[in-house]
Amino acid sequence: MQFIPLGILFLLTIILFYYKTIYDAVRERLRIYHFLSKFEGPTALPLVGNLYLVNIFDISQLVDQVMLLAVHYCKQGCGMIRLWIGPVPMLAVITPEYAKEILESNEVITKADEYEILFPWLGTGLLTSTGDKWRQRRKMLTPAFHFKVLNSFLAVHDYQAKVFLDQIKCHADNGKEVDLGPYIKRMALDIICETSMGATVDAQNNHDHQYVESVRRLSEIAFLWIIYPWIKLKPIWYLSGYGGEWDRHLKIVTDFTKNVIEEKWDEYQKYQLGAEKKDERSMAFLDLLLQLRSEGLMNEEDIREEVDTFMFEGHDTTAASMGWTLWCMAHHPDVQEKVIEEVDRIFGSSDRDCTNDDLKQMKYLEKCLKESLRMFPSVPFFGRKVEKDTVINGSFLPKGVRIVIVPLVLQRNPLLFDNPHQYNPENFSEEKMSARHAYADVPFSAGPRNCIGQKFAMMEEKAVISWFFRRYRVTASQEFERNKILPELIVKSSMGFPLTVHHRMDNK
């Protein structure tokens, strides 16, 4: 009997503990609901929230549905709209004024919980870290993107671009369409691998390389984890087979990176000891990380997560941008001819490599690349989490709310762009750009968390696309609008990029 009071006390303690937890959760939920009710937004249903408005099983329809919703509320003068994605409270930014305040904020810099799936792969590298760690990493890594370093990558861009041209040569002039997407992606992967690690997977010549397939599959599974809430439950995650597949591909990718880092670390140490000369082909990004490791500022895992971050962010994004650019060119032959004229004006009929001065002269091609990024931004959304009560542009944002900025919403808004669904490089003329809000176009994000590699990406894309049009033209038989946007982790195309390639007979 003497144990009964202790048992009762223990039981009461458990009840009181959970009561407080439940009470606090309900109180916090009601608080969020109260403040979100001050924002305009579509009616939410219990449990599913606003998911009834979209077909999550056919994401090719998602962009059109989101655009209609955003334009409707933008016309009513809303800067942000209230959404419930299932039980998750969210504010979607639909005007550049609010986008500026959010993206420039030094308070709202923590990525949303949807990025959690990437932690086992990318750790808390520059993409996913927050607070002091992010600030410190950003400061340490910035020197790796100095213009002198970027200029040294031009040789890699040139070499891999020429491999790409040779790879598709067999498809030229046969009158048949070929999906250029996989070719572009393999080229972009070789470029980022060599420039970030000083190594190569030789994906362009080795289409069955395990690393190539594993990166592709990890991206696909991560997106499924984000959009289907039930997959997040561990039993379903593994019973569905996704969990086991994720673990298998994750090991392949991280083991590959670790092995390359260790090889480069051995080389670095021998060089430091003067045992051998430094390999001139060693790339500056990994060199910088190894130097930070030697100074005790980073360990092996820190380096791996940053290298894997740049491997992931630096190839799918540029590949998507280049693919969509060629798709747009094929459907706008007048634009394509202007690009060819510019390329010929710079290079003539020579096969010489690109220089930085050449890239600076590609003014019209730069407009074309920026316009394809306006219509088809490589990153479909930027998510933030409000970690403490914040006021943005006069609006009170309670702790616990997630904020999402969708570049497509801003960049195809008819109130910001004339004929927003029409490809028009002149949207990036000096006159047009000066007349609109700077945050109407944010494909690389903006503010303190803008893409550190955006100059690298633009240099790569200019070099590759200029090489392409030095040798080829493209046409398309499929209608422009039939190729739907699939807003996965990186924007994809529903059809790939089926194009007919023609040798330029006028420049042989």
Residue-wise DSSP of 410-443: HHT-TTTSSSTTS--GGGGSHHHHHHS-GGG--T
pLDDT at 29 over 70: yes
pLDDT of residue 171: 94
Confidence of residue 21 (pLDDT cuts 50, 70, 90): low
Torsion, CA 352, CA 357, CA 360, CA 365, rounded to 10: -10
- CA of residue 55 relative to chain centroid, distance: 23
- Is 131's pLDDT higher than 80? no
The pLDDT-based confidence of 468 (bands split at 50, 70, 90) is very high
Distance of CA 279 to the CA centre of its chain: 31
Binding-site residue numbers are: 451
pLDDT band at 28; cut points 50, 70, 90: confident
- Which strand (E) or helix (H) includes residue 501? strand 498-503
User: How would you label 61-86 residue by residue, b for 16+ Cβ within 10 Å and e otherwise?
Assistant: ebbeebbebbbebbeeebbbbbbbbe
Query: The tokens 């046409």 sit on which residue?
Result: 475
Residue 15 lies in a domain: no
Q: Which H helix or E strand runs over 89? A: strand 88-93
Measure the CA dihedral 349/352/354/356, to 10°: -100
**pLDDT value of position 274:** 60
Question: Which whole number is the average pLDDT over 126-137?
Answer: 78
Handedness of CA 342, 346, 351, 357 (dihedral sign): negative
Q: What is the pTM of this model?
A: 0.88
pLDDT range class, residue 178, cuts 50, 70, 90: very high
Would residue 392 count as lying in a domain? yes
% of the chain beyond a pLDDT of 70: 92
Mean pLDDT, rounded, for 105-115: 75
Mean of all residue pLDDT scores within the chain = 86
CA dist., res. 73 & res. 78, Å (int): 6
- Bridge partners of 392, per DSSP, are 395
Q: What was the pLDDT predicted at 271?
A: 75
Average of per-residue pLDDT across 136-150? 83
Its domain, for residue 394, covers 27-507
| Helix 284-294 with 300-331: angle, nearest 10 deg | 160
pLDDT class of 139 with cuts at 50, 70, 90:
confident
Residue type, 380: P
pLDDT digits (tens, 9 = 90+) for 431-457: 999 999 999 999 998 888 888 889 999
**Does the structure show a pLDDT above 70 at 22?**
no
DSSP label at residue 207 = T
| The pLDDT of residue 282 is above 50 | no
234 within domain boundaries: yes
Read off the CATH number of the domain in which 337 is found.
1.10.630.10
Is the pLDDT score of 3 beyond 70? no
Closest listed residue to residue 144, CA positions, set 272, 307, 260, 265: 307
Model confidence band, residue 19 (pLDDT cutoffs 50, 70, 90):
low
Contact 137, 306 (CB under 8 A): yes
Rounded percentage of the chain residues whose pLDDT exceeds 90: 39
The mean per-residue pLDDT over the stretch 324-336 comes to 97
The CA–CA distances, whole Å, from 24 to 21, 46, 242, 401 equal 5, 20, 34, 16
* pLDDT for the residue numbered 216: 82
**17: in domain:** no
d(CA 62, CA 223): 14
Residue 46 located in a structural domain = yes
Closest-CA residue to 156 (of 121, 200, 123): 200
User: What pLDDT score does 156 carry?
Assistant: 93
Residues making up the annotated binding site for heme are: 451
The answer to the question of residue 12 being in a domain is no
* In a domain? residue 414: yes
Say if residue 276's pLDDT is above 60.
no
Number of domains into which the chain is organized: 1
Instruction: With a cut of 90, say whether residue 319 has pLDDT above it.
Output: yes
Average of per-residue pLDDT across 349-358: 93
